[in-house]
Structure 1
Amino acid sequence: MLYGTPPRYEHPAARGSLALFVRGIGGMDTGQHRPLSRTRPRRQRRRSPRGPERTAQFLVRGLAALILIGLVAMSAFFVFGGERRHDAAAATDPRAGQLASRTVDNAPLTVEEVFPDSREVRPPAARPYRITLTHTDADCRTATTGQLGALLTVHGCSQVVRAGMTAPFDGYEVTAGLFNLADEAGAGVVDDRLRELVETGDGGFATLPAARTVPDTLPTSQVGWRTSGHYLLYCVINRSDGKLVSSDDPVAERITRDLVDSYLVSTVLGRRASP
């Protein structure tokens, strides 16, 4: 008859009574019996890595540290290198600073300068935009809505030159122009505030001719703008059928590039800043 040992996690009293019971039964057995044996599980020793394994671990850790250091150094190089290149370009550009303020760029804008052809605007590498109306005013508020006019006045806006146009895309009408502010710093402040005003509906740009809107209706136009020197350049894009011009409208993006970036910045202000 086989003898068993109780589990090691049982209470000591229970283990003792069971052992007595087993021994009592063993006394009546006439055959040979096996002696009780208690075995304990062997504890496995954690072996330390051998020499080559330890060396490999050190190499892997060292390589990871070198990669991390390299990435940090590379990031710092691009950041500071980009700033140095920007500063160097500003220092070597013969037009740098010529549009920084009206102190150095003191000649007023004219309709003839901004729109020399009264019939159309020809942005570089784009089809012409037909001009329907031009306007200039010393009161910048006439070309704005809401709080934008007061913001421009605070920062020394002296004039606005703009035009209403028909885009070379079916059903799109545009108003585009530029505001002449006192200095580049003021233009930057207006730029920072403008997005909030447009998104909340508290301020924006007026169309030319003035849009016929129904009170308490949501705006259907798309607005694009940027600053260059002490100028704020913009365009307002509408659909002739009154439909919404969405923020991701590819035609509206193309119109903004054509009129604001390519024409007003590169052509008009490029000529003004040329020595």
Structure 2
Amino acid sequence: MLVGGAAALVLLALCGLTAATLMDGRTLIGQQAGPSAAPDTTRDTVPAEASDLDSRDTDQAPLTAREVFPASTLAVGDGENGYEVLRTQSSASCAVAATGEVSDLLVRLGCNQVVRATLRAPDGDHLVTTGLFNLTDRSSAERARDRIRQLLDERQGRFRGMSAGDDTEVIATAPARVGWQVRGHYIAYAVVARTDGATIRSGDTVVREILFDMLEQHLNQGVLERRAEGGTASQPTEGPTDDTGSQDESTED
């Protein structure tokens, strides 16, 4: 009986060791499976975190005038009065929307499309031509942005305002305030002029509001945000970077 009891204790001990080994094995297998699954999840989520608006490779669908300016009146923010859309244009030639070295710069950096419109501001005293340049990638858009101010200051080119018929020629010829900003591979820009052709002071708050309405409220938070969320691109980019300046009367060739 003592021998039998000892044998039983040995057997129980062995069984206990085996059970412990199996339990440790299941734990080990679970721990090994966790890390092996984690990289798969990481591989799936990393591309989603990158900005699909950063390149035409991941944002291939061309812009359309209907996408950028979908109605005859453009309501911006909480404003009760909208901007009247007078004329829209989509062109594969970026040179139609700029002159001189500004035009050459955009083409050299891969701009293959511009979609723009001329609108009358709610106050009736200002006109604005605004739109999007479609460049190759974010890097090229940022390079253009950084060079544009210098070219404007040196009068080596300008953004073109687009006439929309009677009483709007001033947008193409008068001194203007301009603004531009980058989001992804796009440059959003706006040219603002007074309907009476008068020079605009740099601190004009009305013009600053118009530039903000067009660049930030409409083109960035409206058009490009919709494209990032539901278009060919699936993720928004980082916040846009912007700039403003002035340009003198048109000296187009």
What CA distance in whole angstroms lies between the structure 1 residues aligned with 2:112 and 2:208? 29
Give 1:122's match in structure 2, choosing from 54, 71, 75: 75
Contact persistence 1:95–1:273 (CA under 8 A): no
4+ residue stretches of structure 1 with deviation over 3 A? Answer: 91-96, 210-213
After superposition, the CA RMSD in angstroms is: 2.1
Deviation of 1:148 after TM superposition, in Å, equals 1.0
Contact persistence 1:174–1:236 (CA under 8 A): yes
Give 2:186's match in structure 1, choosing from 211, 221, 231: 231
What CA distance in whole angstroms lies between the structure 2 residues aligned with 1:113 and 1:265? 13
What CA distance in whole angstroms lies between the structure 2 residues aligned with 1:96 and 1:191? 22
Partner of 1:266: 221
Partner of 2:201: 246
Partner of 1:77: none
Instruction: Provide the secondary structure at the position in 2 that maps to 1:224.
Output: strand
Identity %: 39
Q: 1:231 to 1:209 in 2, by over 3 A?
A: same
**CA-to-partner distance for each residue in 1:75-118, whole Å, 9 max, x for gaps?**
xxxxxxxxxxxxxxxx989574110000000100001111111x
Give 1:171's match in structure 2, choosing from 125, 130, 146: 125
- For residues 26-37 of structure 1, the aligned pairs below 5 Å read none
Contact persistence 1:169–1:251 (CA under 8 A): no
Q: 1:93 to 1:262 in 2, by over 3 A?
A: farther
User: What amino acid is aligned across from residue 130 of structure 1 in structure 2?
Assistant: E
Instruction: Provide the secondary structure at the position in 2 that maps to 1:204.
Output: coil
Residue 194 (1) aligns with residue 126 (2): no
What CA distance in whole angstroms lies between the structure 1 residues aligned with 2:183 and 2:106? 15
Unaligned runs of 5+ in 2: 1-44, 235-253
- For residues 1-275 of structure 1, the aligned pairs below 5 Å read 96-117=50-71, 119-126=72-79, 127-209=81-163, 220-274=175-229, 275=234
Q: 1:265 to 1:92 in 2, by over 3 A?
A: farther
**CA-to-partner distance for each residue in 1:36-92, whole Å, 9 max, x for gaps?**
xxxxxxxxxxxxxxxxxxxxxxxxxxxxxxxxxxxxxxxxxxxxxxxxxxxxxxx98
Instruction: Provide the secondary structure at the position in 2 that maps to 1:168.
Output: coil
User: What amino acid is aligned across from residue 183 of structure 2 in structure 1?
Assistant: S
What CA distance in whole angstroms lies between the structure 2 residues aligned with 1:136 and 1:251? 28
**CA-to-partner distance for each residue in 1:229-267, whole Å, 9 max, x for gaps?**
000001000001010112111011000111100110011
Q: Which of structures 1 and 2 has the bigger CA Rg?
A: 1
Which gives a bigger RCO, structure 1 or 2 (Cα 8 Å, sep 6+)?
A: 2
Q: 1:92 to 1:246 in 2, by over 3 A?
A: farther
Instruction: Provide the secondary structure at the position in 2 that maps to 1:116.
Output: coil
Q: 1:92 to 1:240 in 2, by over 3 A?
A: farther
Unaligned runs of 5+ in 1: 1-90
Normalised by the size of structure 1, how large is the TM-score? 0.62
User: What amino acid is aligned across from residue 201 of structure 1 in structure 2?
Assistant: R
User: What amino acid is aligned across from residue 129 of structure 1 in structure 2?
Assistant: Y
Q: 1:237 to 1:273 in 2, by over 3 A?
A: same
